[in-house]
Structure formats: C-alpha cells, structure tokens
C-alpha cells in the first residue's frame, strides 16, 4: 500500500475512578492515535504509554513528537507492502516501541481492510472470540477487594489479576487465598521489588498463584532468572520484554516462564507475532496484556489474543469498566461470561468516536514531509 496520509492525535481519557498500581495512581490515561490512509480507506493505530514515563521510558507527548518529527515522515508517501517492510523502515530508529507500534497497528488495520478480512484472521488467529480475565488495582480496603472478587467469579471470570505493591502485598494475597481457596489468581508487581526481596516471593509460593508478573526491574533479565531459581511460582515478564531479541534472551536464561504480550510495549503486532512463535518453539506460553487503551487499541489486542500459544485470559475489559464513554466505537462489551468477541471487520472494526476525539485531544497534527 502507498501511505497517502498520516494524522496523529494525543488524547487524555478520564477514568471513572483512579487505577492504582505500583507505578502510578492514575486518574486519566494519555494515549496517541494514528490515522493512516490509502486507496480511500483508513486504518487506526493506538499507542498508550500513559502521560508520564512511569510504566516504561516512553510517554504520550514523547511518542507524539517522535511520530510527528521522525517516524511519520519516514514512511509517508512510501509504498509499504508488508508488515516487515514497515518495521525495516522504522528499524534505524533506536527503541521507542510504543511510537513504532502506533504506526504498525494502523498499518495492520488498514491492510486488513484492504484485503477485506477481520484483523484476527489476517494475523492467523483461530477465532473471533477470546477469553478475558478480571484485574483489580490497589483498593481502599481488603474487604472491598474480597467483595469485588466474589462478584467477578459470580459473573463468570475464570482468573483474577491482583496489583501487588509494598503495603498491598502478602497480607492481601493471604486474605484472598483464605477467602477463595480454589480461584485462579496471579499478582502483577510492575517492577516494584528487588532481588533482595526474594523472601516475599518465596512466601508467595505457598499461595499457588498462576504466575507472578514483573516482580523486579523494568529493564532487568538477569535478576529475574536468579529469582526464578529461588521460587516455584512461574515468573511472567511484562515491562522487561520490549523486543523479539530480549524475549529470546529472557527465555534462554529462564528469566520467564510466561510472557505478557502488549503490542505497544514491543513495537507492534509484527514483533508481537514473532515473540509468540519464538515462545511457542520453546514451550513458553503467552497471554495478551493491556494498558487501558481505548476500544481502538483494545481491538488490536483482541485480534492478537486469538493466536495459538495464547494460554491465559487477556487483560481486556468492557469499555464501561474504566470509561464513562469509550473513545472507540463500537464500545467493547462482554459477549459471554469472561469472553469478548471481535467485530466482524474488516480490519479491527472499531474507529474513534469523532466528537469525543475532538473533545479529548490535546494535540492533533497532519504529517507533511514536503
């Protein structure tokens, strides 16, 4: 396809209530949307690194500026026939995976539309419907958390992820396990701990968690490998996996026995698919994470969740869990207990609600390299 036009939007989406993790207590989510056009069709991409570099080193205004100044002009007006060709064009720029992903995702949505297929099918997925889990941030009190978990299991969720940070860690898990001896749970530490905290994770072994997500540094592999030798619970890496090569290196040193795949964090759906298949060759299962994207970005994650070697329900949620009105339309809804079904397409089958996009945009720019 010829990349005929590119527009970018930096958007701030207010949350219904704050989402509390080890790295931030967020009241709104900053995201970057890309509109890519070719042959009269439009594809949308979304990168959601948040407003400040607290989850990773990227941040929304940085992503926006980079796409505007460098990545967008590099591909505008070019004929880009394959997803690999797009990655090759962007490959000269170091790092900045979220920024690269915003273009990669738009390219895939557009390519799926040009070929008249839903994105999940074009990616090689097996079904339009995927399993999703429930996920609870740090709450006011443990009884409130227990009640929320009870409701989630009652409505059919098959697994629950618990945010875990100093002050909301072992005591919380102990209470949850006591109340729900059979439930499938895991904890996400968002890199809040160090190897010297290993005894916390050794104690966690008693609670039979499905995995422990990103216990140590966001850029660490080696200490994770050391920690994995000291505990039985499988380690899942999220923040640390930011490229295909790092994923392979992590698996080679047994730094992770699960991989959380987020297309934004690793530069798009193209590297995401490569990581999933590299992991499959090494018998390391994957699952799809999320960053509280709008329904646009969540639709890309949904398509990815139907690939083989995805073995755990995704961090994808109905729009109304976090947003009064989702920036993307149609909104994401459950299609069954603990399940979400992709739009029939073609492409992701989801676009921004234009009025809301206007209202929530902090910046908008049409890329022009003349």
Catalytic residues, by residue number, are: 163, 262
Q: Quick one: 9 or 317, whose CB is closer to ligand OSB?
A: 317
Q: Quick one: 76 or 139, whose CB is closer to ligand OSB?
A: 139
Contact mark string toward ligand OSB, 167..196, x via CB under 6 A: ---------------------x-x------
When binding is defined by CB under 6 A, the residue of 49, 264, 289, 347 that contacts ligand OSB is 289
Q: Which of residues 25-84 bind Mg ion (CB under 5 A)?
A: none
135 binds Mg ion (CB under 5 A): no
The CA distances from residue 235 to 151, 180, 227, in Å, are 27, 22, 9
Task: Supply the minimum distance, in Å, between the C-beta of residue 299 and ligand OSB.
Answer: 14
Q: Quick one: 19 or 108, whose CB is closer to ligand OSB?
A: 19
When binding is defined by CB under 5 A, the residue of 188, 220, 278, 326 that contacts Mg ion is 188
347 binds ligand OSB (CB under 6 A): no
Q: Quick one: 110 or 162, whose CB is closer to ligand OSB?
A: 162
When binding is defined by CB under 6 A, the residue of 131, 238, 278, 326 that contacts ligand OSB is 238
Strands of the sheet with 41-47, listed across from one edge: 41-47, 25-38, 5-20, 361-366
328 binds ligand OSB (CB under 6 A): no
Q: Which of residues 228-257 bind Mg ion (CB under 5 A)?
A: 238
Q: Give the interface with Mg ion as residue ranges (CB under 5 A).
A: 188, 213, 238
Q: Give the interface with ligand OSB as residue ranges (CB under 6 A).
A: 55, 135, 188, 190, 238, 289-292, 315, 317
């Amino acid at each position: 396809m010829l990349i005929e036009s590119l527009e970018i939007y930096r958007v701030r989406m207010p949350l219904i209530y704050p989402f509390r993790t080890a790295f931030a207590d967020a009241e709104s989510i900053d995201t970057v949307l890309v509109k890519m056009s070719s042959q009269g069709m439009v594809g949308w991409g979304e990168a959601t690194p948040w407003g400040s570099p607290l989850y990773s080193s990227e941040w929304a205004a940085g992503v926006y500026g980079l796409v505007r100044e460098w990545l967008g002009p590099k591909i505008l007006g070019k004929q880009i026939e394959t997803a690999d060709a797009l990655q090759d064009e962007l490959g000269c720029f170091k790092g900045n995976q979220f920024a690269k992903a915003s273009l990669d995702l738009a390219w895939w949505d557009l390519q799926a539309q040009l070929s008249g297929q839903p994105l999940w099918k074009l990616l090689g997925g097996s079904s339009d419907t995927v399993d999703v889990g429930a996920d609870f941030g740090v709450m006011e009190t443990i009884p409130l958390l227990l009640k929320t978990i009870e409701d989630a299991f009652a409505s059919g969720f098959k697994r629950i992820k618990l945010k875990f940070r100093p002050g909301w860690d072992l005591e919380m898990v102990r209470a949850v396990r006591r109340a729900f001896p059979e439930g499938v749970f895991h904890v996400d530490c968002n890199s809040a701990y160090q190897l010297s905290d290993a005894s916390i994770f050794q104690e966690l072994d008693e609670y039979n968690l499905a995995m422990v997500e990103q216990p140590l540094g966001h850029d660490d592999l080696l200490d994770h490998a050391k920690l994995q030798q000291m505990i039985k619970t499988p380690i899942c890496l999220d923040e640390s996996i930011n490229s295909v090569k790092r994923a392979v290196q992590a698996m080679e040193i047994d730094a992770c026995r699960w991989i959380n795949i987020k297309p934004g964090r690793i530069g798009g759906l193209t590297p995401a698919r490569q990581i999933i298949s590299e992991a499959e060759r090494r018998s390391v299962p994957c699952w799809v994470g999320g960053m509280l994207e709008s329904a646009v970005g969540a639709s890309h994650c949904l398509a990815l969740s139907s690939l083989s070697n995805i073995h755990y329900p995704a961090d994808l949620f109905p729009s109304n869990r976090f947003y009064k009105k989702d920036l993307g339309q149609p909104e994401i809804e459950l299609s069954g207990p603990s399940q979400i079904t992709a739009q029939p397409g073609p492409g992701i089958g989801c676009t921004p609600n234009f009025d809301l996009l206007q209202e929530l945009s902090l910046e908008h720019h049409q890329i022009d390299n003349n």
